[in-house]
Structure 1
Amino acid sequence: MYKTVGLYKRMDNEEEFYDYYTNVVVPQLLNIPGVLKVEVTRLHSTQISGDDTYFLMGETYFANYEAFQRVLSSPEGQAAITAMLNKAEDFMTAYVGQEESFKTNIFTTPHYIG
């Protein structure tokens, strides 16, 4: 599975941006053929990192790289990108990645090597 990850830096109008992102950008993305799901995460710094640079992460999922390319080049995809950049161009860092998931199996006993 492929996804885009957008990290949004702290800004003066975080709540206004969050409202715009979840009520304008996310619905636009979900209406584009080829987008499987969108996840939005509010970020909080930890004592471990001490980094408070970003306050929000948005992830958009695609079945594969080809689907990602089709969405990116579609008129709907271009409109969603434009909507995002209009509000956050100076505050956003974006990545594209291939996701792998690892899960525990609650029905088996863990094996420990001693």
Structure 2
Amino acid sequence: MIKVIAFFNPVQDSDSFAQYFEEHMVPKFLTLPGVIKMNVTRILDQLVASNPNPYFMYTEIYYPSLEAYENGFVHMNPDSQQILQEFMDLAGHISVLNIGTEHTYRNLQTSTAFY
């Protein structure tokens, strides 16, 4: 599993920004070729760190493979390019944009099924 991760810098009105992002950008990203899902996490607090956390939110865009990511994100069609441009217009608020692989480990002893 491949994911693109964007960390967002704090903004003046974080609730309005997050609401706009979730209502307008997430539905658009979910239309990109190859995207499986997208998570948006608003950071509530920093538990442990040597430096203060500079982020208020991060997103994860999931692809099934590197090939799907390259076909859907790197080699975009015009509609996808427009979505990415709108995303990049928000880039002043993005501190870090990464791509990585995800490995999920679950505790099989728990009965909570929220995954």
TM-score, normalization by structure 2: 0.82
2:92 maps to 90
Question: In the alignment, residue 39 of structure 1 is paired with which amino acid?
Answer: N
1:74 maps to 76
Q: Distance in 1 between matches of 2:83 and 2:24?
A: 9
Question: In the alignment, residue 48 of structure 1 is paired with which amino acid?
Answer: V
Q: Distance in 2 between matches of 1:47 and 1:59?
A: 21
2:8 maps to 8
Structure 2 residue ranges without an equivalent (≥5): 111-115
1:56 maps to 57
1:111 maps to none
- Percent identity of equivalent pairs: 22
Q: Distance in 2 between matches of 1:29 and 1:3?
A: 13
Using the TM superposition, give the Cα deviation of residue 8 of structure 1 relative to its aligned residue in structure 2, in angstroms: 0.2
For residues 40-59 of structure 1, give each alpha carbon's deviation from its aligned partner in whole angstroms, at most 9, with x where no partner exists.
Answer: 00012324226231010110
Q: How many residue pairs end up in the alignment?
A: 106
Structure 1 residue ranges without an equivalent (≥5): 108-114
TM-score, normalization by structure 1: 0.83
Q: Distance in 1 between matches of 2:8 and 2:66?
A: 23
For residues 83-114 of structure 1, give each alpha carbon's deviation from its aligned partner in whole angstroms, at most 9, with x where no partner exists.
Answer: 11112x2221110001111112228xxxxxxx
Question: In the alignment, residue 102 of structure 2 is paired with which amino acid?
Answer: E
Secondary structure at the aligned position of 2:11 is classed as: coil
Question: In the alignment, residue 82 of structure 1 is paired with which amino acid?
Answer: Q
RMSD, aligned CA: 1.7
Secondary structure at the aligned position of 1:66 is classed as: helix
Structure 1 outlier segments of 4+, above 6 Å:
none
Q: Distance in 1 between matches of 2:32 and 2:87?
A: 15
1:29 maps to 29
